[in-house]
Structure 1
Amino acid sequence: MAKLTEQDILAWHGPEEDYMNADHLQFFRELLLKMKTELLANANQTSQHLQEQEATPDPADRATLEEEYALELRTRDRERKLLLKIDSTLRKLDDGSYGYCEDTGEPIGLARLMARPTASLSLEAQERRERLKRQYAD
């Protein structure tokens, strides 16, 4: 069978027992590995960018550069956390639990996984957690 495309995944309406079949698993594995490669490339670019910068004598320029560095480092920190999530998700692909909600065991759904390949909760479970978090925050 030919490799699945994003359109194939979104259009899939097969039987429930065919959910997360070998083709689906391969599609999401490749998607996650591609994401990981891109994030690692970004991290390398940031590292090189920070090493190449020169100190500037002008205080306003220096402040601007420091703010840019801080923003870039915050972005990379978020990406570092996403890398950890991608690695955890790849382990789920290996152990057969990928695509199923951690809270309910129900299928997360292909459309949700396309939007967020690292999702570990169904939309309903995620909304329930967010409601509970808001209740305790108030």
Structure 2
Amino acid sequence: MKIVLVELGEVLRDRRKAAGRTIASVAVDAGLSVPYIANLENGRGNPTVAALDRLATALGAQLEVRIGEDVPPPAVSVGAELVSDSDRADSVVAALADGRSRAAVRRELIATLDSLGVLLGRPPDAADLGRLLDLLVLSGRGL
């Protein structure tokens, strides 16, 4: 059995700060005291699952607690490997972004390549990536 430990205080603090919230505002929404949350953020205290659930909700998140078998690692994406090795893919992704993040366009390109492999019945290769990039450039459209 694999046990994953995270620094709860860091997660809470980072999530709160990313939301632009104070400890006091989170405490009010969660129905908990300011010192209690401050202690948790500083790595002290022994919170209940109910308190963590209230904190997660106050921070716009969902608490997930998992006890189970190891989850198999995700399959290696051939599309991700092809795209990461291609300078041309980077330039086409930049050209297609047009109001979207490059990361989102890159993910869509990788997903398209991986789906292409399913249709081809074999993993896509560099030539397949080249043809897909040609198609995208010629169409002038997003993915």
With normalisation by structure 1, the TM-score equals 0.26
- Point out which structure has higher relative CO (alpha carbons under 8 A, 6+ apart): 1
Structure with the greater alpha carbon radius of gyration: 2
Structure (1 or 2) with the greater helix fraction: 1
